[in-house]
Structure 1
Amino acid sequence: MFLIHHARVLIAPTQDSDARLRDVAERIGSTERTERAVHLIVAGLEAAEDLTRTRVGRRNRYTIDFTVALLRHPAEADRPAGNLLTTFTHREDTPAAESGRAAS
Structure 2
Amino acid sequence: MDPVEPRTSWTFVTNHARILAMIVRDPEVRLRDMAAGCRLTERAAQAVVSDLEAAGYVTRARHGRRNHYGVTPGTLFRHPAEGHHEVASLLKVLTEIEPAGATSERPRHTGDHDADDVRP
Which range, TM-score by smaller chain?
0.7 to 0.9
SS in 1 for 2:23: helix
Give the CA deviation at 1:55: 0.8
Shift of 1:66: 3.4
* Two-structure CA RMSD over aligned residues (Å): 1.8
Deviation at 1:44?
Answer: 1.3
Question: Percent sequence identity over matched residues?
Answer: 40
Q: Is the 8 A contact 2:56 2:72 kept in 1?
A: no
Deviations 1:37-58 (A, max 9, x none): 2111111111111101011001
Is 1:49 the counterpart of 2:56? The answer is yes
Which of these residues, 69, 80, 89, is aligned with residue 86 of structure 2?
80
Task: Say whether the 8 Å CA contact 1:14–1:64 is kept in structure 2.
Answer: yes
Q: Displacement of 1:90 after TM fit?
A: 3.3
Q: Does the CA contact (< 8 Å) of 1:53 and 1:63 recur in 2?
A: yes
Corresponding residue for residue 98 of structure 1? none
Instruction: Say which structure is richer in helix.
Output: 1
5+ unaligned residues in a row in structure 1: which ranges? Answer: 96-104
1:19 is the counterpart of 2:25: no
Residue 40 (structure 1) aligned to one of 47, 52, 70: 47
**What residue identity is the alignment partner of 1:70?**
L
The C-alpha deviation readout for 1:29-76, integer Å capped at 9, x for no partner, is 1x53xx222111111111111101011001101110232x22101210
Q: CA deviation at 1:80?
A: 0.9
**SS of 1:66 mapped into structure 2:** coil
Gaps of 5+ in 2: 1-10, 98-103, 106-120
Moved over 6 A (4+): none
Alignment of 1:50-69 (within 5 A): 50-67=57-74, 69=75
**Aligned AA (1:54):** A
